[in-house]
Chain A
Amino acid sequence: MIMPLIKGLQITISHMFKKPVTLQYPTERPDVKPGFRGLHALNVSHDKAKCVACYLCPTVCPAKCITVEAGEDANHDKYAAKYEIDMLRCIFCGYCVEACPVDAIRMTEQFELANYTRADFTYTKDRLLEKK
C-alpha cells in the first residue's frame, strides 16, 4: 500500500524539476515538425504557378474540396485558370501533394486557419500561390 504511493510521489516530484511542456501560445510558438501538413501552397517556377491543371489532385482528393479549371494560354499551353481549395472541407490528408506529377503543390507549416466567415475559407489560386 505504501510503496505505490511513494512511487507516485517520486514521479510528481521529478516533474517539479522538469521544463514544462505547455506552450504559452500565442507568445510562445510551437516548433513544427518536418512533414507537418498545414495550409497548402502552390509552387512557383519561372514566375508562374507550376500547376499544369492536370486534374489529378481534385480527382484524388477524398473530401472533394479542390476545384481546378484549366485554361489555354497564348502559347496554347495548359494552365490552371482556376485553382481553389475549400479549406472547410479539407481533411489535410496530403493526397493532393502526393498525386501531383509536377510538384506544384505542397503543404506549409501554417496551421493558424481560424476565420470568421465561410468565404474566408475559400483559398483561391491567388491566396495559395507561394509568396516570395
Chain B
Amino acid sequence: MVNLTINGKQVAVEKDATIYDAAKACGIKIPILCHDKKLHPFGGCRMCLVEVEQMKGRLIPACTTPVTEGMIVQTTTDEIVKARKLVLELLLLKHPIDCPVCDAAGDCDLQNLTYEYKVNMNRFVDEKFNHEIDYENPLIERDMNRCIHCGKCARICDEIVSYGAYTFINRGIEAKMGTEFDGPLNCEFCGSCVSVCPVGALNSRPFKFKARWWALQKTKSVCSYCGTGCQLTLGTKDGKVLTTIYDENQGFHNGQLCTRGRFGYQFVNSDKRLTAPLIRKNGKLQEATWEEALAEVTSRLAAGKSDPASVAALATPRLTNEELFLFGKLFRGTVGTDNIDHSAGYAHEALTKGAVASFGVAASPAEIADVQKSNLLLVVKSDAYETHPVIGFEINLGVKRKGIALRIVSDKKGKLTRLPGAKTTVHAPGNEVALFNALCKSVIDQGLAVEGVAGLDALKAAVADATAEKAGVSAEEIAAIAKEFASAEKALIILPIGQGYPGHNAALANAAANLAILTGQVGKEGAGLLIMGEKNNSQGAVDMGIYPKGTGLNAAAIIDGCANGNVKTLFVAGENPVVSYPNRAKVEKALENVEFMVVSDLFLTETAALADVVLPACSFAEKSGTFTSLGRRVQNVRKAIPAIGLAKSDFEILNAISQALGGARYNNQGEVFTEIAASVPAYKGLTQAGLKDEGAVYPVALAAKLVPAAAKAAAPAAGKLALVTGSALYHCGTMSRFGEGPMYVCPDAYAELNVADAAALKVEEGDQVTVTSGTGAVQVVAKVGKRVPQGVVFSPYHFGEGSVNTITDGAEVTYVSVAKK
C-alpha cells in the first residue's frame, strides 16, 4: 500500500494505482475524457491534470501517473481549472456545436465538462472540421467532426475486442480517427466503440434520434441471447425497448456486450410480434380470445391426462427458471408425462448426461471468472468466440493482458486462432472425442497422470489404442498439448454446446472431463471444464430438470412419436424445431401429423405456423424472473416494459393451464422461485431479492471420476466435403432473425468454403450454391476464405430460408456435395 494526500485527505492505495484511481477511491472526482477503467492508460486528452507538490512547476495527468509514497496532490486549484478550460477551448475549436441534433447530448462528457467549467466563449478561432460523415453502415454512424481524439474506440476494439478496426490517421490538427484505408467501417459490429465514445462521434444507428438519454427509463436485466449471461441495462420509453445502455460497472464483463446484446434487441418491439392468440379454424389460423384458446388447450391436455404417454412438451431454454420449473411441474406432475425436453436433448446432453457421469452434477465445475484465473485455456472449436462472444473477450483479455496460454482444437480456424501465442490444432471434423482420448493416452504415456483417480484402469484400457493418427493430427502436437495441459498450474477446457453442434454430446463432455480429471485440473480455481450452453438459460433448463428422465422421450424421439402417431398432443413453448432440429423435412412432416399442437412464441415461427393453437408470449423485457448463466450464476431478469398487445408471459400461460387442470396455482412468479429454492438442491437458500444486481453462483459438490468415452470414427465419403454446422457471430438460435441489427449484417444462410475447394468447384464469394446431402439439398450463398480447411464446409443453422437442417440428420458430420446453382 502507498500513502498519499489528495486535497488534504489521507489515502492508502495499491502500489499500481494511478493518482486518478486514488482520488476515485476516496470520492474525489477528477474529470476525464480519454480514460476508461477497462483500457490501458492513454494520457491523451490532458483533462485530468492535477498538481503534485513534489513535482511543482508543471501539471501532471492523473490518469497515467502512478502514485508514490507521500505524494501531496491538489485536484482543483485555480491554475488547474484554467488549464482544463484551455483543454476544453481547444477541443471546442473545431468541434461543431451540434448538441441539439447530436444523439450524445445529455450523455456527452464534452458537453458536461463544458458546462461544468463554464466555457462559454473561446479565445481562439478556426474553421470547424468538415469530414465526410460515414452513413454507410447500418449499425454504426461515424461523424468524425465531433471526435475529440480520445482514442477509446481504437483502444477498446484492439485491446478487448481484438478486431482493430480503427486507427489514427494524419497528425496534428489534421489527425482523424480512421478505418482501414479510410473506408467504411466493416467489423464485428459489437458496438463497443460506440459504448465508450465520450461524445457523439460514434452513434448507434438503430437508436439514432429515437430519444434523449435522460428520457429513457433504465432497467437492469440480463441478455436473452446466449448462455454467457451478460447483464445489460435496457433503455426504454413509451413501452418500447429503444437501446441498451452501457454501464462500465455492470456484470463480470464491465458492461461489454457483443453485437447481439448491443444491436439485437429490436425483436422485442418488432411489428411481427404476435399480439393475439390464434386458433386454427377451417385449416387457417384465426385470431381468437385468450379464453377460447386456453379452453382449447386445457381440454386437450385434460383428455391427455388419461393417456399421458400420448402427450409431449418441448420448451425453449430461453424461458425463465420459474417458467421452466412450472413447465416441468405441469407436464411431469399434473399431466403425468415424462416426454419433456428442451432444445433437443442431444444438444445439451453434455450437461445432462456427460457432466453428471464425470462430475456427478449437471453443471460445469468451472465458472466464467475462471477464464482469467487460468494459466492455460484449451478451447474446443474455434467458434467458442462466435457462440459466446463476451467470453471471447474474456479470453482475449486473459491472453493479451495476463499472458494465459491458448490452445485450440478445432475443425476450422477462427478468431481465437489469431490471438498472440495461440496454437490451433486443426483436426478432421467429428474427431473431437478421438482427439481427447489421444490426449489422455499421451498424458498417461508421458507419466503425467495424477495418481489414484477413480476409474483410471478402465480409462487406461479404453484409450489404449487411441492414437494421434486416429484423431487425424500429428503425434507431436498431441504430445505437446498433453504435456502443456498437464503441467500448467491451472488449465481450463472450454467447450461450447448447442443445437449447432450435434457432435458436442455426452461422450465429448466425458472425454474432455477425463483430460481435466486425469491431470488434476479440476476442483480448483482457474481449472476444470466450462461447458457453455448455447442459450441464455440452457443451464437453468437443465437445473429445472427439463429433459427426459426414466422412460420419457427426448426431443428427437418426440418428433418420431409425432410422426408415428404415438404422440397425439404436443405443447411447444418457444421452440422452433422446424428450423433448429435436424432433418427439416422429417420434423415438418411429424408436426403436420401430430393431432394437436400448441405453440407459445413471440413470433409466428415456422413451427407456430403449423400449430393448431398459437399463444402470444412475452419477451424477456416484459417479464421478471431469473436466468442461470453457463457459469452457474443465477441472475435477476426484470420487467422493463408492459406486455406487447395481448401477449402473456409463459408463466401466466402455464399457470392458467396448470390451474385449469387442477394443478398448482401461483400468485406471481416470485412464489415459484421460493419453491425452486426449496426443492432444487443447488438453489437452496437463494431468494430473488438476495440475488440483487450481481446474481449468485451456486456451488457444486464434485464427485469426479474418469468415464471412458468411445470415439466414433467418422467415415469420409470420397469426393464429398464434410459439413460442420455451428453458430454465426451475429446470431443465436433462431430468434436473432427478428432483431434488426443481426439481419443487417448477416441476413442470409451461407456456406463457408476453403479457397482451394472453391477454386476447384469454380465458386466465388457471393455465388449461390446448392449443398446436397443424403437428406436433402439447400441453396445458400457461398463464402470463401481460409478459415475452414480444405475438404470442410461450414454453415450456421439459424436461418429459415436455406436452413442447413434440411440437409443434416443429427450426425456429427454430414458429407455433402457442393455445386454452383
Contact = CB atoms under 8 A, between A and B. Distances in A.
Interface stretch (B54-62, B208-216, B253-261): B208-216
A132 to B, nearest CB: 24
B101 A76 contact: no
A52 interface: yes
Chain A interface residue number, banded: 10 to 19
Given A70-B209, A72-B209, A59 B215 contact: yes
Contacts of B100: 52, 54, 56, 101-102
A78 B133 CA distance: 14
A105 interface: no
B99 A70 contact: no
A53 interface: yes
A52 B100 CA distance: 7
A77 B101 contact: yes
Interface of B: 99-101, 105, 133, 135, 208-212, 214-215
A54 B215 contact: no
A78 B101 contact: yes
Given A53-B209, A54-B105, A55-B211, 15 more contacts: A52-B100, A52-B101, A53-B101, A54-B101, A55-B215, A59-B212, A59-B214, A59-B215, A70-B209, A71-B209, A72-B208, A72-B209, A76-B135, A78-B101, A101-B100
Contacts of A102: 100
A72 B133 CA distance: 15
Contacts of A76: 133, 135
A78 B215 contact: no
Interface in A56-110: 56, 58-59, 70-72, 76-78, 101-102
Nearest to A67: B238
Nearest to B135: A76
The 4 closest A-B CB pairs, nearest first, are: A54-B100, A70-B209, A78-B101, A55-B212
Nearest to B143: A76
A52 B6 CA distance: 45
Contact of A70 (B133, B210, B214): B210
Interface of A: 52-56, 58-59, 70-72, 76-78, 101-102
Contacts of B105: 54
Contacts of B99: 54, 101
A125 to B, nearest CB: 16
Contacts of A54: 99-101, 105
Among A52, A53, A76, find the residue whose CB has the most chain B CB atoms closer than 10 A: A76
B209 A78 contact: yes
10 contacts: A52-B101, A54-B99, A54-B100, A54-B101, A55-B211, A55-B215, A56-B100, A58-B215, A59-B212, A77-B101
A54 B105 CA distance: 9
Contacts of B209: 53, 70-72, 78
Contacts of A59: 212, 214-215
Contacts of B208: 72
B431 to A, nearest CB: 51
A20 to B, nearest CB: 49
Among B100, B210, B212, B214, find the residue whose CB has the most chain A CB atoms closer than 10 A: B100
A88 to B, nearest CB: 20
Contacts of B133: 76
A58 B215 CA distance: 10
B113 to A, nearest CB: 19
A54 B215 CA distance: 12
A89 to B, nearest CB: 17
A43 to B, nearest CB: 14
A124 B515 CA distance: 70
A15 B105 CA distance: 59
B735 to A, nearest CB: 27
Nearest to B208: A72
A70 B214 CA distance: 16
A54 to B, nearest CB: 4
A16 to B, nearest CB: 58
Contacts of A58: 215
Nearest to B211: A55
A28 B370 CA distance: 84
Nearest to B213: A55
Contacts of A101: 99-100
Contacts of B215: 55, 58-59
A53 B214 CA distance: 15
Contacts of A56: 100
Contacts of A55: 211-212, 215
A72 B209 CA distance: 8
Nearest to B212: A55
Nearest to A102: B100
Contacts of A70: 209-210
A76 B103 CA distance: 13
Contacts of A53: 101, 209
A56 B102 CA distance: 12
Contacts of B212: 55, 59
A52 B209 CA distance: 10
Nearest to B103: A78
A25 to B, nearest CB: 40
A59 B99 CA distance: 15
Among B209, B211, B212, find the residue whose CB has the most chain A CB atoms closer than 10 A: B209
Nearest to B97: A101
A58 to B, nearest CB: 8
B143 to A, nearest CB: 10
A60 B135 CA distance: 31
A132 B208 CA distance: 32
Contacts of B214: 59
A52 B101 CA distance: 6
Among B101, B133, B135, B208, find the residue whose CB has the most chain A CB atoms closer than 10 A: B101
Contacts of B210: 70
A53 B102 CA distance: 10
Contacts of B101: 52-54, 77-78
A70 B209 CA distance: 6
A52 B102 CA distance: 10
B116 to A, nearest CB: 19
A72 B212 CA distance: 15
A130 B100 CA distance: 21
A39 B211 CA distance: 26
A94 to B, nearest CB: 19
B142 to A, nearest CB: 12
Contacts of A72: 208-209
B685 to A, nearest CB: 45
Nearest to A56: B100
A45 B255 CA distance: 43
Nearest to A75: B135
A74 to B, nearest CB: 11
B803 to A, nearest CB: 34
A17 to B, nearest CB: 57
A12 B258 CA distance: 83
Contacts of A77: 101
Nearest to A71: B209
A105 to B, nearest CB: 13
A76 B211 CA distance: 16
A59 B211 CA distance: 11
Nearest to A78: B101
B780 to A, nearest CB: 33
A55 B209 CA distance: 10
Nearest to B101: A78
A76 B209 CA distance: 10
A53 B208 CA distance: 12
A102 to B, nearest CB: 6
A63 B125 CA distance: 41
